[in-house]
């Protein structure tokens, strides 16, 4: 495929975004089987996003997002109520905007989105708190459309230990039962936000490949949310995939206009350790252009509470701050010396393979 490449030399910095999907959308948003498969293992599509923003996301080449449909910081039965309410709200939203959105149950919906110029939305939960200790709820959520379930969110729950806990616990007995049930029904296991012991035990126990959908590399930049080389290797050996996130404080302490180079450092390291077949994009990002303003910081503090340190603001890297960021990543990878076939693996094909094996 012949694409214009706007890549700067040193460090993989970008001087402009490319026209990755321009040929397919020149006359509006149209589908094309010629477009490369570009998938995000963890992204934010909010119910408040205007459809003009969704059109920009699609125009970037993105054809699938795995979307968290409820706040992972809600606990107890309130988590169950919130999850059901939010899931139904996303169902309504997708029905109301079926000209652009598809509720995705499997890889066939990715191919449909590709051909129709739409965005396939996979449902995920970033905590097992709505499940409590009831495995029947796993089946219920699956039947309602859930396709990925993250075991923990930062702290201990009924399943295992989170990355911010002060003790080095692993999977609980219920956690092992939950993994077995998820394997049985084809629900993708996500170990993002888990501590390294819970992650390694999950990788070893699961009979099918798992994902760390949004993380960084601990060896590149030490952060509680990042993954060790040991677990990256184990994930790859089991057939799993790691998604590199775009949250700036997980990747670097540098605040600058050109700090996107650190993002590509994490991708390079993950490829070196896990292999080109086991790396994907898991942005963990809103698609809006977020301003560096007191108003945006206040909104984030309201959403995240004590789990967010204001010193980590801003969360974004300027080059990746907006709905067309997948174009920036595509050309940044080319600028790092990856071939187009390798870029296509990282941008979508590796995740498509995992979805095919696990979700179907």
Residues 26-39: pLDDT tens digits? 323 445 557 899 99
Measured CA to CA in angstroms, residue 276 lies from 65, 121, 272 at distances of 21, 25, 8
Reply yes or no on whether the pLDDT at 21 is more than 60. Answer: no
| Model confidence band, residue 144 (pLDDT cutoffs 50, 70, 90) | very high
Q: 215-224, 296-305, 350-359: which has the minimum mean pLDDT?
A: 296-305
pLDDT of residue 291: 79
Residue 177 has pLDDT above 60, yes or no: yes
Between 2 and 245, the higher pLDDT residue: 245
Q: How far apart are CA 283 and CA 165, in angstroms?
A: 24
What is the phi/psi pair of residue 16, to 5°? Answer: -165, 160
Comparing 6-15, 169-178, 237-246, 247-256, which segment has the lowest mean pLDDT?
6-15
Q: How far is the C-alpha of 92 from the C-alpha of 310, rounded, in Å?
A: 35
Q: What is the mean pLDDT of residues 42-61?
A: 96
Helix (H) or strand (E) holding 124: strand 119-125
Q: Is 308 helix (H, G, I), strand (E, B) or coil?
A: coil
Per-residue H/E/C for 22-87: HHHHCCCCCCCCCCCCEEEEEEECCCCCCHHHHHHHHHCCEEEEEEECCCCCCCCHHHHHHHHHHH
Q: How much is the pLDDT for 4?
A: 28
pLDDT at 315: 79
Q: How confident is the model at residue 107 (pLDDT cuts 50, 70, 90)?
A: very high
DSSP 178-235: HHHHHHHHTPEEE-TTB-HHHHHHHHHH-SS--EEEEE-BTTTS--TTSB-HHHHHHH
**Burial class of residue 8, CB neighbours in 10 A (0-12, 13-18, 19+):** middle
Token pair for 29:
């948003």
Chain centroid offset of residue 284 CA: 5
pLDDT value at residue 113:
98
| Mean pLDDT within 148-158 | 97
Residue 343 near residue 333, CB atoms below 8 Å? yes
Q: Would you say residue 151 has pLDDT above 50?
A: yes
How does pLDDT run across 299-355, given as a tens digit for each residue?
766 676 667 676 777 878 999 999 999 999 999 999 999 999 999 999 999 999 999
Q: Is domain 35-358 annotated with CATH 3.20.20.140?
A: yes
**What pLDDT does residue 300 have?**
63
The answer on pLDDT for 295 being more than 50 is yes
Residue-wise pLDDT tens digits, 55-97: 999 999 999 999 999 999 999 999 999 999 999 999 999 999 9
Residue 12: the pLDDT is: 37
Q: Give domain limits for the chain.
A: 35-358
Q: What local confidence, expressed as pLDDT, does residue 289 receive?
A: 87
Alpha-carbon gap, residue 133 to 130, rounded angstroms: 9
- pTM for the complete prediction? 0.90
> Between residues 125 and 295, which one has the greater pLDDT?
125
- Residue 6's pLDDT is 27
Q: Pairing relation of β-strands 119-125 and 101-103?
A: parallel
pLDDT for 145 beyond 80: yes
Whether 179 contacts 202, CB under 8 Å: yes
Looking at residue 185, its pLDDT comes to 98
**Residue length of the chain:** 360
B/e letters for 154-173, b = 16+ CB within 10 Å, e = fewer, are bbbbbbbbbbebeeeebbbe
Instruction: Decide if 179 contacts 191 (C-beta within 8 A).
Output: no
Average pLDDT, the chain: 89
pLDDT at residue 82 in the model = 97
Judged on CB neighbours under 10 Å (0-12, 13-18, 19+), 99 is exposed
Q: What is the rounded distance in angstroms from the CA atom of residue 306 to the CA atom of residue 45?
A: 24
Query: Could you tell me how far CA 330 lies from the centroid of its own chain?
Result: 16
> How far apart are alpha carbons 155 and 49 in whole angstroms?
30
Q: What is the pLDDT of residue 297?
A: 63
Q: What is the DSSP string of 103-119?
A: E-SSHHHHHHHHHHT-E
């Amino acid at each position: 495929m012949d694409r214009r490449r706007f890549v700067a030399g040193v460090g993989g910095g970008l001087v402009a975004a490319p026209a990755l999907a321009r040929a397919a959308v020149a006359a509006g948003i149209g589908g094309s089987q010629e477009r490369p498969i570009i998938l995000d293992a963890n992204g934010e599509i909010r119910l408040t996003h205007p459809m003009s923003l969704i059109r920009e996301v699609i125009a970037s080449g993105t054809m699938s997002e795995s979307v968290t449909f409820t706040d992972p910081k809600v606990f107890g039965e309130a988590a169950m109520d919130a999850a059901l309410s939010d899931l139904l709200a996303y169902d309504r939203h997708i029905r109301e905007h079926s000209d652009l959105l598809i509720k995705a149950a499997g890889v066939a919906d990715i191919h449909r989105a590709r051909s129709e110029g739409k965005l396939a939305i996979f449902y995920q939960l970033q905590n097992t708190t709505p499940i409590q200790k009831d495995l029947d709820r796993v089946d219920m959520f699956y039947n309602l459309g859930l396709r990925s379930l993250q075991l923990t969110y930062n702290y201990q729950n009924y399943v295992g230990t989170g990355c911010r806990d002060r003790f080095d616990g692993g999977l609980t007995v219920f956690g092992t039962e939950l993994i077995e049930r998820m394997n049985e029904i084809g629900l993708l296991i996500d170990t993002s936000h888990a501590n390294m012991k819970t992650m390694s035990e999950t990788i070893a126990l699961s009979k099918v490949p798992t994902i760390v959908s949004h993380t960084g590399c601990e060896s590149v930049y030490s952060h509680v949310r990042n993954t060790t080389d040991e677990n990256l290797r184990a994930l790859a050996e089991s057939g799993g995939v790691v998604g590199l996130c775009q949250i700036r404080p997980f990747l670097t302490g540098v605040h600058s206009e050109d700090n996107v180079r650190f993002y590509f450092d994490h991708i390079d390291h993950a490829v070196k350790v896990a292999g080109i077949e086991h790396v994907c994009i898991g942005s963990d990002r809103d698609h809006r252009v977020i301003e560096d303003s007191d108003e945006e910081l206040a909104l984030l503090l309201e959403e995240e509470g004590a789990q967010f340190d204001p010193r980590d603001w801003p969360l974004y890297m300027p080059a990746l701050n907006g709905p067309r960021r997948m174009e920036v990543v595509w050309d940044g990878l080319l600028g790092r010396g990856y071939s187009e076939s390798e870029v296509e693996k990282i941008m979508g094909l590796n995740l498509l393979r995992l979805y095919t094996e696990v979700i179907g």
